[in-house]
Amino acid sequence: MEITSINTFLPYYDKIRERTKRLLAVVPSDSLDWAYKPGKFTIGDEIRHIATIERYMFAETVAGRPSCYRGCGKELADGYDAVMAYFDQLHEESMAIFRALSEEDLQRKCTTPGNATMPVWKWLRAMVEHEIHHRAQLYIYLNMIGVKTPPMFGLSAEEVAAYTKPE
């Protein structure tokens, strides 16, 4: 899917973020430091990572600047309220950059941290895929610690099956 209008992309991306926020709302405040294995991202790291990558890699790159992503550790925000505020703050900063993009900017080439060049619209599409990837990891993490997670689109797979009429 080619992104040809920033005015249609932004509402779409808002819906992606709304689904992520619904999931973050069920994260237990005492579980931010949980990881499935030593040395892997904690739940808090995952949340900070989504925020910092969006702001300091994707937004900077589409603005024509190099990535300034430096990680996602607790030094950026620690504690449930601080992590959620940080997540929202960086998203607002990113959205200000994205709102300034024109349709012509979407076709302009940007250079990724891996030194690949691609149209800005493709980089924005990669950003959405990145968020969805990490949101899926959070779903798994939360399920591993016994947290009931919200269905992504309103119904769980079991509810869809229950509503489906046999042939």
pLDDT at residue 153, as a whole number: 76
List the CATH number of the domain containing 150.
Answer: 1.20.120.450
Q: 85 with 95: CB under 8 angstroms?
A: no
Assigned domain for 95 exists:
yes
Alpha-carbon distance of 135 to 31, in angstroms, equals: 16
**Domain range for 13:** 6-163
- Tens digit of each residue's pLDDT (9 = 90 or more) over 97-136: 999 999 999 999 999 999 999 999 999 999 999 999 999 9
6 φ, ψ (degrees, to nearest 5): -65, -30
pLDDT, tens digit, 9 for 90 and up, residues 4-51 = 899 999 999 999 999 999 999 999 999 999 999 999 999 999 999 999
Query: Total structural domains in the chain?
Result: 1
**Predicted TM-score of the model (pTM):** 0.92
Q: What is the reported pLDDT for 126? A: 97
Question: What one-letter code names the amino acid at 147?
Answer: V
Residue 58 lies in a domain: yes
pLDDT digits (tens, 9 = 90+) for 54-64: 999 999 999 99
6, 101 Cβ separation under 8 angstroms: yes
pLDDT at 1: 73
SS3 43: helix
